[in-house]
Amino acid sequence: MSDTLTLDVIGRRVEVNGEYATVRFSGVVPPTAGLWLGVEWDNPERGKHDGSHEGTVYFKCRHPTGGSFIRPNKVNFGVDFLTAVKNRYALEDGPEGDRKEQVVIIGNKPVETVGFDSIIKQQSQLSKLQEISLRNCAVNCAGEKGGIAETCPNIRKLDLSRNLLSSWEVIRMGDQLKHLDVLNLSENKLQFPSGSPSLIGMFSALKVLVLNRTGITWAEVLQCAPGWPVLEELYLESDNIFISERPTDVLQMLKVLDLSSNQSVGENQLFLIAHLPRLEQLILSDTGISSIHFPDAGIGCKTSMFPSLQYLVVNDNQISQWSFINELDKLQSLHSLSCVRNPLTEGNKDAQTIRQLIIAKIGQLKTLNKCEIPLEERRGAELDYRKAFGNEWKKAGGHQDPDKNRPNEEFLAAHPRFQLLCLKYGAPEDEELKTPQPFMLKNQLLELTIKYPNQLDQKVIEKKLPVSMTIQKVKGLLSRLLKVPVSELLLSYESPKMPGREFELGNDQQTLQFYSVESGDCLLVRW
């Protein structure tokens, strides 16, 4: 880099020995001679001062040790897009001795080759490349006008993360890449444009955009969004996002929104994006969120907010109250929830009990923490929930007689699905409520009828079995009684409370309690 730099370097991104920085000053710093660059490091521990030297302020830094002065010849200002592409993908025909072994990067994978066979030549034809990764390749601009369109026009997926892009220079790239549908710009400190109408439809085919750790603001997102008319996935992790206004006429095709690690995102801000019509997946991990309330929906009703939301991720937050889980039952399309490492689910609490409670509280949930919820697990969770809080329900005004069943508002607010579970399975009987709480059962004996649907000559028997008995041990007992190998036995059961339905006991390691087998149920044995 020449020692005669002009002011146009201000704001440029640079790399020095693997560390990234932004140029804040260019000029002389007395008493030393020659040109200096004042830079603000991404990592403030790399610097020495705040932009001041011997009492003179040359530039300002956000951190007191974020700045340094560096000679221009020590700084890497980077290369243009096509230079980076050719450096990574195009093979040069060097001396014979250098051609015996080559390493070509295809996507993110290094491939060792021998010689210049036809496959290598095909990969080096840049016009055929559809997926390009230029992560950490010091790309600083698009380069010569029209050069990208001429050289590699068929790119569909482009990774430009952790480069030296300092402005929305990618607009010029997008204008040349008409087929681009995936773009990753993470870890570039971008200055976004101010109100340019030329943004509209610039990335006409783009469906996935990753802007993690770019420093983009919500206002800038909305300002740039007309350039992404068909965008379906937007990732904004660790951008210090504060949702300040509702998207209107933009982001209407969005299906996935990642707001992870944005500590400013709160309940009221979420209402501003609650009416994105196609939003199916919302990722709110590590945002510090602790509460949510949908004011348009009462107990047992569905909210009009987030109408298409199917998958919600709220890991690593401050959720400590069951009221948060109760509110999620109001989401009309929610099928999957990930909610780990929250005060509500951590500590000395039994993980299986917490899982059962969440399942019982969110009626339409099909997957919890990436584990599918089988039909028998849901039935067990709901029956256990009905028993566990049955006495509390009675004290609050609940009654087996529908005409007298009037639990108070406090109970209904804490257990909004309880009445529905009573309709589904019947109100808990007094005899049920006298037994130990189902989450604490250890040695309670179940009185079961054992039948053999495929062996009509076998005599029906009655047995008392502990609820803590595993399916494997039940099979062992039956194997000895019937003289049939354990491996050939298939178990299921029927409940008089759910006539006409049969529930498979498919996991040998689970207990009768896990499957919510109760006294009076009928065990069905086949082989």
Residue 67 phi, psi dihedral angles, 5° rounding: -115, 160
pLDDT band at 277 (very low <50, low <70, confident <90, very high): very high
Asked whether the predicted pLDDT for residue 21 surpasses 70, the reply is yes
User: For the residues 153-161, what does the mean pLDDT come to?
Assistant: 95
In the prediction, which pLDDT does 501 show? 85
> What is the C-alpha to C-alpha distance for residues 312 and 171, in angstroms, rounded to an integer?
32
In the chain, residues under CATH classification 3.10.20.90 are: 445-526
The domain 445-526: what is its CATH number? 3.10.20.90
Characterize the bridge pairing of strands 109-113 and 102-106: antiparallel
Chain position carrying tokens 């020659």: 34
The beta strands (E) that lie in 202-310 are given as 208-210, 233-235, 256-258, 281-283
In the prediction, which pLDDT does 2 show? 45
DSSP-based three-state secondary structure for 310 = coil
In the chain, residues under CATH classification 3.80.10.10 are: 79-92+114-375
The pTM of this model reads 0.77
Q: Please give the full DSSP string across 359-422, using - where no structure is assigned.
A: HHH-TT--EETTEE--HHHHHHHHHHHHHHTHHHHHHTT--SSGGG----HHHHHH-TTHHHHH
In the chain, residues under CATH classification 2.30.30.190 are: 7-74
User: For the residues 460-471, what does the mean pLDDT come to?
Assistant: 90
- Residue 119 neighbours by CB distance under 10 Å: 11
Asked whether the predicted pLDDT for residue 452 surpasses 80, the reply is yes
DSSP-based three-state secondary structure for 292 = coil
Asked whether the predicted pLDDT for residue 100 surpasses 70, the reply is no
Chain position carrying tokens 């560390």: 19
Written as six digits, the tokens of 352 are 């299986």
Asked whether the predicted pLDDT for residue 377 surpasses 60, the reply is yes
Q: What is the pLDDT of residues 279-309, one digit of tens each?
A: 999 999 999 999 999 999 999 899 999 999 9
In the prediction, which pLDDT does 115 show? 41
- Residue 510 neighbours by CB distance under 10 Å: 16
pLDDT band at 513 (very low <50, low <70, confident <90, very high): confident
CA distance readout (Å), 217 to 42, 157, 238, 257, 373: 18, 24, 11, 15, 38
Q: Print the SS3 string covering 186-201.
A: CCCCCECCCCCHHHCC
Q: What is the pLDDT of residues 55-99, one digit of tens each?
A: 999 999 999 999 999 999 999 999 999 999 988 886 444 444 444
User: For the residues 407-415, what does the mean pLDDT come to?
Assistant: 94
In the prediction, which pLDDT does 90 show? 67
Q: What sign results for the dihedral spanned by CA atoms 105, 111, 117, 118?
A: negative
Asked whether the predicted pLDDT for residue 502 surpasses 70, the reply is yes
The domain 7-74: what is its CATH number? 2.30.30.190
Q: Please give the full DSSP string across 438-453, using - where no structure is assigned.
A: GGG-SSPEEEEEEE-T
Of 342, 341, 344, 334, nearest to 366 by C-alpha is: 334
Residue 159 phi, psi dihedral angles, 5° rounding: -105, 110
Q: What is the pLDDT of residues 188-244, one digit of tens each?
A: 988 876 655 456 668 999 999 999 999 999 999 998 899 899 999 999 999 999 999
> What is the C-alpha to C-alpha distance for residues 498 and 502, in angstroms, rounded to an integer?
9
Fold of 79-92+114-375: 3.80.10
More confident residue, 234 or 460: 234
CA distance readout (Å), 93 to 72, 132, 165, 513: 33, 22, 30, 71
Q: Which amino acid is at 360?
A: A
Q: Which residues pair with 462 in a beta bridge?
A: 449
Asked whether the predicted pLDDT for residue 439 surpasses 80, the reply is no
More confident residue, 168 or 373: 373
Of 5, 12, 41, nearest to 26 by C-alpha is: 5
- Max distance between CA atoms of the chain, in angstroms, equals 107
> What is the C-alpha to C-alpha distance for residues 162 and 1, in angstroms, rounded to an integer?
21
Written as six digits, the tokens of 302 are 């569905």
> Comparing 57-61, 183-187, 476-480, which segment has the lowest mean pLDDT?
476-480
Mean pLDDT of the chain: 87
- Residue 117 neighbours by CB distance under 10 Å: 9
In the prediction, which pLDDT does 199 show? 67
Q: How many CA atoms lie within 13 A of 134 on its CB side?
A: 30
Asked whether the predicted pLDDT for residue 37 surpasses 70, the reply is yes
Characterize the bridge pairing of strands 371-372 and 367-368: antiparallel
More confident residue, 487 or 514: 487
